[in-house]
Structure 1
Amino acid sequence: MATPPLDCAVIVPVLNEVDNVEELTARVFAALGPLEGEILFIDDGSSDGTPDLVERIAAADRRVRLVRRVGRRGLSSAVTEGFLSTIAPVVAVIDGDLQHDETILPQLVEAVASGGADLAVGTRYAGGGSVGEWAAARVRISRFATRLSAGIMKTQLSDPMSGFFAIRRGLFLDIAPRLSQRGYKILLDIVASHPAPIALAEVPYSFRTRVAGTSKLDGAVALQYGELLLDKLLGRILPVRLIMFGAIGLVGTVVHMALLWLGLAVAAFAFPVAQALATLGAMTFNYTLNNALTYRDRMRRGWGWIAGWASFCAACSLGAFANVGISTLLFSDAWGWWLSGLAGAAIGSVWNYAATSWLTWRRR
């Protein structure tokens, strides 16, 4: 007998959610009721047994599938892989921590399946929705992030920070090549990447408090959110990595000057020695921050950190020579000292970015 076609798929990105997987699976299928659906767990390298548990559940229920990701991290890219792994016409996304109200899944799916909307979003900020037991500080942060996103959204959402939504799969596939896939806010990425407003439905729900597992929210999430905003605002002009690399370089200049002053005024080193130590210190500072922030998806650790530091210093030393040589040439050609210096610094920075991106942090 032929298997009925899928009505929907539910993507669940997970990282160390072993205590929630069974309960979430049961709740989702109970909520879907007569709808023909499947659940795709997209695992980002859990170390608590989450993928093993999903495999055992999937062995007994063909509606459950597991996608393991190796060497890749990030909720947005995980969700994208989920969309590429199903043929269901409507695809929903829900967190694996039981904080989203799965009982509204049928409403989200039906809003899209009926043709009334191409995107249906579970919202905490409209129509009786609620953030639950959030502290006042977290509410303010969420509201502030929502206001920041207004300028890049083609479709205005009451809750662009939501990770709970359903969308027509064909529409997502059309948008996918334009996605930044940075950080955790895949919904915002979707509405910012589509060139025109999307037919929208919003379904209110109350956000729950996490019971098991640990939250993945940390300082890196805020940084990744900022990267997404920058990419949508300036990505067509400058790569976000180059912007971050340059910003760290500016801070590194302050570090360099501080170390130079310490070497001269406190340690009483000769200028060449103080300058050399300051240069090495600033390079180490820049490398450390770029490794942790700009290239955290390719972060070097252990012995690789040391090898990366050596290649970074070597590449930046060549950049310093280019900086000095070009600025000197321009200065001798009657350019002003400040313009010559800025031109040399800019060219040196671009060299450092290109060289270290390939030499120090290229994907292996």
Structure 2
Amino acid sequence: MPETTVQSAPSVAAQPGGMPVLSVIVPCFNERPNVVPMIAKLDEALAGVAWEVIYVDDNSPDGTAQEVRRIAGHDPRVRCIRRVGRRGLASAVIEGALSSSADYVAVIDGDLQHDETRLPVMLSSLRAGGYDLAVASRYAEGGDSAGLPSKWRHMLSDGGIWLAQAFMPVRLTDPMSGFFMLPRSLFEQLARGLNGQGFKILLDLVLSSSAPLRVLEVPARFRERAAGQSKMDALVVVQFAGLLLDKLCGGLLPLRFFSFALVGALGIFIHLAVLATVRHSSSLSFETEQAAATIAAMVFNFHLNNSITYRDQRLSGPGLWRGLLLFTVVCGFGAIANVGIAQILYERHTAWSIAGGIGALIGVVWNYAISATLVWRSR
């Protein structure tokens, strides 16, 4: 069980030359109302510490980046990285941490729910040696998760914790935490093995280490959100499970491929359900009913992939309809390849189950590869 620190810590002096000791990485999207109070809280909590804050903004339409840059104009401790054409908390954290030259990097949400007063405690504990990673935990003794707004959020959090604890090489009471700190040099060592997708990068860091990390959990309060909307939903837990699967398979197959294949499997059930429904409620020919079921499954697969598999490149507006059209065309060619190859193998006396399975696999690989290139390409 990870140990817990004391509740206070001495200040940390600046390095020679004025280089910050600590970089606080804040991945954000639509957090403009929280920027000013967040920086004020960091200034108070980190008095006596040479620090900087690096906001990594995913091109927020509410002007988050502009607000950060306004403050940066008169406070050199504040920096902003504005990302266009890519989204996602994990990749934002990676970009922010790799842009730092400080000895230590901390990751904290920009919504004021994390208790920034824990930062000096975490920093002094790491500098004292004996630990590789400090995690602010809602569930360690003395912590508080009252900021989770509903029973549904509690269920999502508890489910993710249970799932992670079954596979993690170290025991963490709060593996879903988005508030942690580690030496920058260690982050850079682990960066090459990071998946970089999803919302829970702490798990990715822990599972990317070749040896179990020495982890210290610091009890922390999880406050109620002051402004803006939470990004936590059921899809975060789905991505969390996908990340575990990716790590267990040694990264041999991309996480997106697992997700794409799972969506495709769900699409089969949609296809059969629609086909059964129209057969019992219409007098259309089987070919017409099959076509209707196929179109329904394609639309279902597209929207689910847009919401889960390519969440960080999600299409919207006119691009959504263009993407749907391209996806339908891509899947149409994939279906032709599936049927054609399976038929050739079957005619060569391959067992129908093997021929069908190979055809389906080729269809999935085709659809995944071409969709990633044409439909959800980086913009």
- The two structures, once aligned, show a CA RMSD in angstroms of 2.2
Q: Which is bigger in relative contact order (C-alpha 8 A, separation at least 6)?
A: 2
Tell me which residue corresponds to 2:69.
55
Aligned residue-pair number: 363
Q: Secondary structure at the match of 1:97?
A: coil
1:266 and 2:281 equivalent?
Answer: yes
Quick check: 204-213 or 99-108, which moved more? Answer: 204-213
Change (3 A) 1:262 1:14: closer
Tell me which residue corresponds to 2:114.
100
Change (3 A) 1:114 1:346: same
Q: Distance in 1 between matches of 2:30 and 2:313?
A: 21
Deviation, structure 1 residue 235? 5.4
Q: 2:160·2:237 contact (CA, 8 Å) conserved in 1?
A: no
1:350 and 2:375 equivalent?
Answer: no
Unmatched tracts of structure 1, length 5 or more: none
Q: Secondary structure at the match of 1:60?
A: coil
Deviation, structure 1 residue 181? 1.5
1:226 and 2:238 equivalent?
Answer: no
After superposition, the C-alpha distances for 1:16-50 in whole angstroms (9 at most, x for unaligned) are 22222222212212221211111112222223332
Quick check: 199-208 or 252-261, which moved more? Answer: 252-261
1:330 and 2:352 equivalent?
Answer: no
Tell me which of 194, 200, 203 is aligned to 1:188. 203
1:254 and 2:269 equivalent?
Answer: yes
Q: Distance in 2 between matches of 1:265 and 1:141?
A: 38
1:299 and 2:314 equivalent?
Answer: yes
1:142 and 2:157 equivalent?
Answer: yes
Q: 1:154·1:195 contact (CA, 8 Å) conserved in 2?
A: no
Change (3 A) 1:300 1:206: closer
Deviation, structure 1 residue 239? 2.3
Change (3 A) 1:45 1:265: same
After superposition, the C-alpha distances for 1:293-312 in whole angstroms (9 at most, x for unaligned) are 22232333333333333332
Q: Distance in 2 between matches of 1:181 and 1:241?
A: 11
After superposition, the C-alpha distances for 1:311-342 in whole angstroms (9 at most, x for unaligned) are 32332222222222222222223333333222
Q: Distance in 2 between matches of 1:254 and 1:138?
A: 28
Tell me which residue corresponds to 2:31.
17
Tell me which residue corresponds to 2:86.
72
Counterpart of 1:290, as a letter, is N
Percentage identity across paired residues of the two chains: 46
TM-score by length of 1: 0.91
Q: 1:9·1:90 contact (CA, 8 Å) conserved in 2?
A: yes
Unmatched tracts of structure 2, length 5 or more: 1-15
1:120 and 2:162 equivalent?
Answer: no
